[in-house]
Structures are given as C-alpha cells and as structure tokens.
Amino acid sequence: MYLKLIAIIFEKILSQKTINSLVEFAKLNCAETYVFSVIEKRIIDNIIQQNGRKREAIQEEQVGKRWFEAYEIEEIFKSKGLFINLSVAEIETDDDLAGIINKTKGDLLILCEPDETEIKNIIKLFPSLDMPVLLFH
C-alpha cells in the first residue's frame, strides 16, 4: 500500500482514462496525492522559435494552462471525496525534476502519459529515486 503518491503531468491534457486511473489508484490506497504539472523549458523555447513571442508572455500563458488543467483534475478528485495537492513548475534540467520528486518524499512516482523523450529523461533519474515508478499511458 502506498501512502503518498507523486503524479507528474507533462505538457498535455490527460485522457479521461488516465485521470480515472489516478483517482482510483489514490482511492484504493487511501493515499495522499501530489500532482505536479511540469512545463519543460525546451517546450517554451520551441514556442518562442516558432512564433517569436516574448518568453514572459509564453511562460505566463503556459502556467495559466497548466493551472486550469490541474484545477479540472482537482474537481474530479473532490467529486470522489479525495483531496490532492497541486503544483505547477517550470523545469530546465533533469535535476529540477529530481528535486521536485525527492523533496516531496513519496512512496510511488506516477508518470501520466509521458512521451518517449520524457520517459528517457525519467530513466536517467532512476539512480536518484528512492521509490518505484508507475506509468499511466
């Protein structure tokens, strides 16, 4: 049984199936759940290159989107009688992500719909993680 779950959401809107799986897993384990929606610096850099907008404007827009999506997930948790801790973080390096994960001191890390690059980056962190990793795809 896991008492403290850490769920990482990467640059996407999660499918209802993934959200339901996360809710059910938290409910089955009666677990305290921390959801981090991460914004990777490389994504912001790509947007800047594509449209030439200022970094601050793009960062603000991306943070707003992540919070909106996080609040939608929170409402689903609340409707099931569950509480979650939400956070949005911009990360530049794998160490930034490792810091978030290790500081939270969870029992299980859940990766929510990561793409191939995100999976490769997380695999690099395995030696520094002190918990099992579960993939919701």
- Name residue 129's amino acid: L
Q: Which residues contact 135 (CB under 8 A, 6 or more apart)?
A: 110, 111, 114, 119
Residue 51 confidence (pLDDT): 85
Burial class (CB in 10 A: 0-12, 13-18, 19+), 51: exposed
- Is pLDDT at 45 greater than 90 in this prediction? no
Mean pLDDT value across residues 106-129: 90
Element (H, E) at 38: strand 32-40
Please state, in angstroms and rounded to a whole number, the distance separating the CA atoms of residues 63 and 69. Answer: 10
Q: How far is CA 124 from the centre of its chain?
A: 17
pTM listed for this prediction: 0.89
How far is residue 83's CA from residue 32's CA, in Å, rounded to a whole number? 7
Percentage of the chain modeled with pLDDT above 90? 55
Whether residue 22 contacts residue 50, with contact meaning beta carbons closer than 8 Å, is answered with no
What is the predicted pLDDT for the residue at 117?
85
